Amino acid sequence: MPHYRFENLNTSEEEVLFMSISELEEYLKTNPHIQQLINGAPAIGDSIRLGLRKPDDAFRDRLKEIKKAHSKGLTKATVNTF
């Protein structure tokens, strides 16, 4: 279940509650003095997999060793060494 941040407009107090979306809608209807606050953008994805940065050199060297060890015979390994 997601968590939501709220601010009491009368007292300026903030609180975090865990509830479903249907409970959220009911909570906001029954409490007009409560305002929902935005939690911010969630972290989606890995910066390396998204191509924003590359892994360090030691890890890349290890990937090259793995690729070389598994590239025997007629097939070539498909390990991404960046």
Please write the tens of the pLDDT for every residue from 13-71.
999 999 999 999 999 999 999 999 987 766 677 777 777 788 889 999 999 898 888 88
Whole-model pTM above 0.75?
no
Q: Indicate whether 26 belongs to any domain.
A: yes
Query: Is 44 part of any domain?
Result: no
- Domain coverage including residue 75: 54-82
Which residue type, as a one-letter code, is found at position 23?
A: E
How many separate domains does the chain show? 2
The CA-based dihedral angle spanning residues 7, 9, 12, 16, taken in that order and rounded to the nearest 10 degrees: -20
pLDDT for residue 14? 94
30 occurs within a structural domain: yes
12 in any annotated domain: yes
Residue 49 lies in a domain: no
The answer to whether residue 48 sits within a structural domain is no
